[in-house]
């Protein structure tokens, strides 16, 4: 499970290129309360709301701070599966929290309207990816490079693979696998440079 602070953005989720103003106009405290209520109605357990806002001593989010990165990632368990919903589309943390709450509310509506299996299928797309998507894999094989290729080659191979995955419409797990391989390769090169 992720940490509440600092923000732990889910692997494989793209970040917004630009943020925009939202029309929610909901105070941060109310957005947090609504998010908590929607998670409760969903039957979520082991909830972690991850943001770039430091926590108070009691573990709740400080409402008097607005972080430079207003993104929010909500990790929780539902029916024995770890899930994550994240939003960074809006300029303010409260609006991103409200967007996640409203998304859960809308998805719960699917169940209320008699299509519960549809909701389960929709939520299956929000399963949290493992923190290390390529655990045990050789990063050089994943990147299709000779071992200890220079960082420029790692970056070029990474970009090329992401373009191909995007063109193929590959699942987010494939993107995460390539990203982790790139990170592992760059770490290996950095470690070798310090010896």
Q: Which residue has the higher pLDDT, 134 or 19?
A: 19
The answer to the question of residue 20 being in a domain is no
106 shares a domain with 162: no
* Residues 67, 39 share a domain: yes
What pLDDT does 132 receive? Answer: 42
Distance CA 160, CA 99 (A): 33
Q: How far apart are CA 71 and CA 96, in angstroms?
A: 6
At 1, the pLDDT band (50, 70, 90 cuts) reads low
Tell me: the pLDDT tens digits for 91-126?
999 999 999 999 999 988 887 887 767 767 766 666
Domain holding 115, by residue range, is 28-124
Task: For the chain, state the CA radius of gyration.
Answer: 19
- Same-domain status, 112 and 164: no
- Indicate if the pLDDT at residue 129 is higher than 60: no
**Same domain for 176 and 102:** no
Contact 99, 73 (CB under 8 A): no
Minimal CA–CA distance to 149: which of 173, 181, 174?
181
The answer to whether the pTM exceeds 0.75 is no
Q: Say if residues 126 and 134 touch (Cβ distance below 8 Å).
A: no
Q: What is the average per-residue pLDDT within 57-73?
A: 80
Report for 111-115, 145-149, 187-191: range of highest mean pLDDT: 145-149
Number of domains in the chain: 2
Instruction: Tell me: do 120 and 34 sit in the same domain.
Output: yes
Q: Are residues 95 and 163 in the same domain?
A: no
Q: Are residues 32 and 110 in the same domain?
A: yes
């Amino acid at each position: 499970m992720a940490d509440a602070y600092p923000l732990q953005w889910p692997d494989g989720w793209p970040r917004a290129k630009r943020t925009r103003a939202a029309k929610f106009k909901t105070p941060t405290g109310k957005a947090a309360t609504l998010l908590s209520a929607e998670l409760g109605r969903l039957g979520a357990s082991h909830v972690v709301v991850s943001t770039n806002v430091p926590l108070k001593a009691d573990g709740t989010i400080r409402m008097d701070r607005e972080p430079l990165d207003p993104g929010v990632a909500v990790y929780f368990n539902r029916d024995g599966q770890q899930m994550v919903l994240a939003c960074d589309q809006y300029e303010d943390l409260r609006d991103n929290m409200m967007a996640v709450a409203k998304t859960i509310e809308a998805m719960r509506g699917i169940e209320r309207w008699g299509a519960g299996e549809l909701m389960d299928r929709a939520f299956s797309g929000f399963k949290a990816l493992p923190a290390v998507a390529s655990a045990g894999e050789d990063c050089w094989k994943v990147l299709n490079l000779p071992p200890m290729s220079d960082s420029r080659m790692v970056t070029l191979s990474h970009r090329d693979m992401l373009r191909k995955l995007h063109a193929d419409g590959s699942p987010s797990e494939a993107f995460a696998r390539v990203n982790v391989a790139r990170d592992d390769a760059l770490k290996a090169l950095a470690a070798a440079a310090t010896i």
